[in-house]
């Protein structure tokens, strides 16, 4: 136990992080069971809060029992436990391992706050398995760098303090401390790739080469260092290509070789917190999105986002709802919550100093109002005459003139007076409503 708490403490101190809270990823297995004890001891000695999160996948008939047992162990240590139940789409075509992993980290995100440290129980044997799985997939240095001891996560960090410790050392420590833990029966099922490596590959390799785990860990570290060095050397090129709204300049990319361009695309996706694409997907981003015909509106789906092109730039666009049919009446003094996390609107007389001069505010007049005020997102068939323009135009053309990307044209609120456009928020006010009497503020 002394060896493990020293390792745990050393990793946290070397990371230079000062955790506001420790959040333990707590499955109830032997690794996380020991991790919980170490985190509890560290939190007490450093006077910080310690919490735990258990993810209930529902894949085993024993899942409810495991959750109850985890609650008992946390109660004994006075550690608050959150139990997150997740549903996996087993018909998605993805492996159960990936679905479960993605669901776990999504669940952890719900409990992470700024300054927290999420500690997980992966050890050097897990690192070997991750390395060999990446090798099996034909991964490059990024994938072969496997798991980092410290990495950003949301507004916090993930720390893997036991990554240099073997599974055997953890089990010995658990026995020495008199701990009990749950045994996931699926861990013996060699139909799963990781279990196959664990039970049938790694034992043979370590019997032949006893230092094989340490060698793999060193190779993973070297790959990680190479990746960091490449990023450092190419940072100036990346910053030159990076545009507004996290877009990427196609013109800047076109000035580089295929290899360098592919690297910049990977850096961009990482910068936008996206998972790394395959070599084939990278080629599709360039060939079918960046280099599509000028009048095309190309897109490529990557996981739950789209890579889109607009105005000679590439954009990452998250999947959004179709808001064409959404509308709502609004009256002066109202606060209106917009759908799909688009923020809220405040509509009031301009004399109200609470929102006056707001960054996203627009002033207008309702002296000639003729109908009920409402908000819509559907520009179909609508025309407007922006103040300062010579004539009216269809909103479709105005969106183009105001350089609004195609995927935002039905996500931009339109303030209507009956069937007449008062304003397109963030863009313009119609000349018939020119004035300073009223104000609309769009808080995104």
Q: What are the binding residues for ATP? A: 27-32
Task: Indicate the annotated binding residues.
Answer: 27-32
Local structure of 118: helix, strand or coil? strand
Rounded distance between C-alpha atoms, residue 417 and residue 433, angstroms: 10
Local structure of 44: helix, strand or coil? helix
Strands in 21-25's sheet, in edge-to-edge order, are 81-85, 49-56, 21-25, 117-119, 156-159, 150-153
What are residue 353's phi and psi, to 5 degrees? -70, -10
Rounded distance between C-alpha atoms, residue 26 and residue 439, angstroms: 51
Rounded distance between C-alpha atoms, residue 264 and residue 258, angstroms: 10
Strands in 335-337's sheet, in edge-to-edge order, are 335-337, 344-349, 438-443, 361-364
For tokens 């991964």, the residue is: 139
Is residue 216 classed exposed, middle or buried when 0-12, 13-18 and 19+ CB atoms within 10 A define those classes? Answer: buried
Rounded distance between C-alpha atoms, residue 277 and residue 289, angstroms: 15
Rounded distance between C-alpha atoms, residue 262 and residue 91, angstroms: 32
In 253-270, which positions are buried (b, 16+ CB within 10 angstroms) versus exposed (e)? beeeeeeebbbbbbbbbe
């Amino acid at each position: 136990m002394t060896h493990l708490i020293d390792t745990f403490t050393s990793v946290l101190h070397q990371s230079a992080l000062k955790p506001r809270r420790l959040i333990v990823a707590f499955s109830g297995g032997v690794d996380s069971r020991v991790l919980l004890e170490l985190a509890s001891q560290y939190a007490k000695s450093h006077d910080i809060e310690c919490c735990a999160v258990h993810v209930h996948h529902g894949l085993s008939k024993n899942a409810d029992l495991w959750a109850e047992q985890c609650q008992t162990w946390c109660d004994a240590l006075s550690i608050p436990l959150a139990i997150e139940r997740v549903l996996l789409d087993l018909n998605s075509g993805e492996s159960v391992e990936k679905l479960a992993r993605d669901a776990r980290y999504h669940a952890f995100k719900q409990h992470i706050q700024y300054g927290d440290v999420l500690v997980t129980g992966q050890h050097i044997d897990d690192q070997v398995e991750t390395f060999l799985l990446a090798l099996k997939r034909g991964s490059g240095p990024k994938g072969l760098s496997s798991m980092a001891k410290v990495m950003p996560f949301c507004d916090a960090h993930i720390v893997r303090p036991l990554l240099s410790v073997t599974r055997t050392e953890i089990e010995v420590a658990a026995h020495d401390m008199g701990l009990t833990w749950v045994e996931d029966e699926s861990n013996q099922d060699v139909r799963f790739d990781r279990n196959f490596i664990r039970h049938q590959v790694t034992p043979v390799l370590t019997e032949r080469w006893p230092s094989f785990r340490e060698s793999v860990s060193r190779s993973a570290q070297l790959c990680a260092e190479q990746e960091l060095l490449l990023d450092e050397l190419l940072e100036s090129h990346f910053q030159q290509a990076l545009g507004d709204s996290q877009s990427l300049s196609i013109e800047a990319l076109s000035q580089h070789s295929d290899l360098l361009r592919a690297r910049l695309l990977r850096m961009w996706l990482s910068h936008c917190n996206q998972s790394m694409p395959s070599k084939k997907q990278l080629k599709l981003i360039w060939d079918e999105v960046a280099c599509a015909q000028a009048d095309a509106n190309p897109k490529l789906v990557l996981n739950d986002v789209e890579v889109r092109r607009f105005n000679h730039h590439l954009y990452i666009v998250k999947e959004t709802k179709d808001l064409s049919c959404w509308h709502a009446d609004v009256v002066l003094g109202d606060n209106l919550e917009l759908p799909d996390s688009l923020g809220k609107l405040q509509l009031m007389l301009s004399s109200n100093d609470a929102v006056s001069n707001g960054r996203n505010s627009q002033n207008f007049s309702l002296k000639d109002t003729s109908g009920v005020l409402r908000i819509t997102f559907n520009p179909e068939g609508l025309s407007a005459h922006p103040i300062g323009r010579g004539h009216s135009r269809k909103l479709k053309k105005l969106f183009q003139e105001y350089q609004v990307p195609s995927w935002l044209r039905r996500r931009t609120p339109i303030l209507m007076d009956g069937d007449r456009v008062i304003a397109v928020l963030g863009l313009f006010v119609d000349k018939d409503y020119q004035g300073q009497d009223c104000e609309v503020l769009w808080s995104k």
